[in-house]
A and B are shown apart, each in its own frame.
Chain A
Amino acid sequence: MTVDLAPLWLTARLATVTTLILLAVGVPLAGWIAHSRSRFKPVFETLIAMPLVLPPSVLGFYLLMALSPARSLGAWLHARLGVDLVFSFPGLVAGSVLFSLPFMVQPLQAALTNLPDSLREAAYTLGKSRPAAFWQVELPCVRPALVAGTVMAFAHTVGEFGLVLMLGGNIPGVTRVASIAIYNEVEALNYGAAHLYAAILCSFSFAVVLAVHLLRRRTEGGA
């Protein structure tokens, strides 16, 4: 039995790129939401949390419609930036970022909200700007939440199926990630290969959840 490793590498690449983008986007977003007094805050919180309750295929369907070159947004992206997000790796990344956003933002936001205000206020009275206080004081104080959010966002991207299938299809080497490869192998009655992919994803998921639990225990033990 020969097993194509390309879906596994593609999955790893997708999860890594997605997680890096989520770190760049999710951390400031969590900080903004945690301290915002805007009356639109509940709307933003709801939008970010939507992927937790929405079937992935629904989000995938709307993204497919919006990003299609036949629609205005997709056409604009193609004409202005030369980017096609449907049935492509960048499209998978965009969809995964949206889908995994709550896994990065919510733990961070909760941890930042629970920090005493006096910590950042002390930094302000010591002459530090708001961004400096955030990066130098608040973020190091919520490091366990940052690590947990990062790990969970990565793991969630690895396990994503519905959105990836809707938006990326099943193109070998381009959009066929591990979860889709399992589906593909089962369709072809190639259960051995499906077993192998499934076992790798199972082991990975177990390791991730165990790591998060150990991290939480270590944090609670140290508190």
Chain B
Amino acid sequence: MIHWHLTKRLSPHFVLDHSANLAPGSFTALTGGSGAGKTTLLRLLAGLETADDGYLEVDGERWIDGRRQIPPQRRSVGMVFQDYALFPHLTVRGNIAYAVPGGERARVDALLELTALTALADRRPAQLSGGQKQRVALARALARRPRLLLLDEPLSALDPALRHQLQDELAALHRRYGLTTLLVSHDLPEVFRLADRVIRLEHGRETACGTPAQVFLDKQGGDGRCLISGQVLAHEESAGLTWLTVLAGGDIVRLPMASRLARAYPPGSPITLEAGALRPAEPFGQPLP
């Protein structure tokens, strides 16, 4: 079990104050807006930042106890940084071997094979694609068999197809190693796909915690209808009605509204749409039964 209560003042008006419990083998996503304190929390857990107060206990061992904190070198953590932080002067093999205690060749080979990097073992990071770099960073983070794996938006720079594939690989490695993983992510599909639990941080405080469904389906109406946030882009008068062009859920839609009501939603203003029924897309051009 990993549990903590940590505080750190980041500015005169911003204090990160957070408590949590992570069950062994759990996969937790940490979400929230920019500057919410997600990366700082990850860095506190890794020992790269110093907490002002609190504790961090991992399997009965205190890593942070008030002002007494053990350095990152003595914590069993693996961390994948947002920029991967691969050592540019070392090959893929060198990067992984650097992390393996004693550089044990068999273990390096196993990690290369596990992350499908054997063919790229002699390349330098500059010669790798984003997905390959991500794999090296992951293999390196796993090399010391960490008790806690920390991932700071590791897939954010990748295209959606590659991200999808690497999410599968990440999930497989998480299960295989029985890791306790904490992932910072803004990507909702990624969170739903990987995490069994979500912590949402806003301005240094936890505002929601639960399964992805519990945290993100808060706009679900009781009668099955759901509310979708959007933004009004333009107005157009036609046939006594005002047609609103609205950006919602990544799509642009046109909706009619009585002109006297539409005046309350000028272009640029937020608007909430209510949707009642799901209409599945027709598979492969065939009409639905």
Among all A-B residue pairs, the 4 with the closest Cβ atoms: A118-B85, A122-B85, A140-B89, A124-B72
Chain B count of residues within 8 A CB distance of the other chain:
24
Q: Decide if B47 touches A137 in the complex (CB within 8 Å).
A: no
Q: Chain B contacts of A116 at CB under 8 A?
A: 83, 85
Q: Decide if B85 touches A121 in the complex (CB within 8 Å).
A: yes
A127 CA to B144 CA, complexed, in Å: 9
A126 CA to B48 CA, complexed, in Å: 12
Interface residue B78 (Cβ < 8 Å from any Cβ of A): yes
A122-163 to B contact mask, C-beta < 8 Å, 1/0: 111111110000001100110100000000000000000000
Given contacts A122-B87, A124-B71, 6 further A-B contacts (CB under 8 A): A122-B81, A123-B98, A125-B46, A125-B78, A128-B98, A136-B98
Using A116-B85, A129-B73, A141-B87 as known contacts, say yes or no to A121 and B144 having CB atoms under 8 A apart: no
A136 CA to B88 CA, complexed, in Å: 12
Q: A125 touches which one: B72, B87, B101 (CB < 8 A)?
A: B72
Chain A count of residues within 8 A CB distance of the other chain:
17
Residue of B nearest to A136 (CB): B98
Interface residue B246 (Cβ < 8 Å from any Cβ of A): no
Report A's interface with B, CB cutoff 8 A. 116, 118-119, 121-129, 136-137, 140-141, 143
Main secondary structure of the interface of B (DSSP, over half): loop
Interface residue B143 (Cβ < 8 Å from any Cβ of A): yes
Residue of A nearest to B75 (CB): A125
Q: A128 touches which one: B47, B73, B82 (CB < 8 A)?
A: B73
Interface residue B140 (Cβ < 8 Å from any Cβ of A): yes
Q: Decide if B87 touches A119 in the complex (CB within 8 Å).
A: yes
The B68-113 residues at the A interface (CB cut-off 8 A) are: 71-73, 75, 77-79, 81-83, 85, 87-89, 98-99, 101
